[in-house]
Structure 1
Amino acid sequence: MTQEELLEQIYKKDSKAFTLLYDMYSKSLYGVIYNLLKDKEESEDVLQEVFVKIWKNLDTYNDKKGRFFTWILNIARNASIDRLRSKSHNNSKKNLSSDNFVHILDHNTSTTNKIDAIGIKQFIQKLKPKCIRIIDLLFFKGYTQKEASEELDIPLGTVKTQNRNCIKELRNILQA
Structure 2
Amino acid sequence: MQQDQLIAELQQKNERAFERIYQLYSVSTYGIIFSITKDEKVSEEILQDVFMKIWNNASSYNPEKGRFFTWVLNIARNASIDKIRSKDFKNKRLNLKSDNFVDILESKSNTSGKLDAIGLQKYLDILEPTCKKLIDLLFFKGFTQKETAEELAMPLGTVKTRNRVCIDKLRSTVI
- Provide the rounded CA distance (Å) in 2 between the counterparts of 1:49 and 1:95: 25
Structure 2 residues not aligned, in runs of 5+ = 95-103
Residue of structure 1 aligned with 2:115, choices 99, 102, 107: 102
Which aligned pairs between 1:86-97 and structure 2 lie closer than 5 A? Answer: 86=86, 87-88=89-90, 93=105, 95=108, 97=110
What residue is the counterpart of 2:69 in the other structure? Answer: 69
- Provide the rounded CA distance (Å) in 2 between the counterparts of 1:70 and 1:149: 25
- Provide the rounded CA distance (Å) in 1 between the counterparts of 2:36 and 2:28: 13
Give % identity: 48
Q: Structure 1 pair 42/148, CA: closer, same or farther in 2 (3 Å)?
A: same
Contact 1:30 1:44 (C-alpha < 8 Å) held by counterparts? yes
Report SS of the residue matched to 1:72. Answer: helix
TM-superposed deviation, 1:95: 4.6
Q: Deviation above 6 Å: which 4+ runs of structure 1?
A: none
- Provide the rounded CA distance (Å) in 1 between the counterparts of 2:55 and 2:121: 29
Structure 1 residues not aligned, in runs of 5+ = 106-116
TM-score normalised per structure 1? 0.83
TM-superposed deviation, 1:168: 2.0
Contact 2:29 2:73 (C-alpha < 8 Å) held by counterparts? yes
What residue is the counterpart of 1:114 in the other structure? Answer: none
What residue is the counterpart of 1:112 in the other structure? Answer: none
Tell me whether 154-163 or 35-44 shows the greater mean CA deviation. 35-44
- Provide the rounded CA distance (Å) in 1 between the counterparts of 2:19 and 2:44: 16
How many pairs align? 161
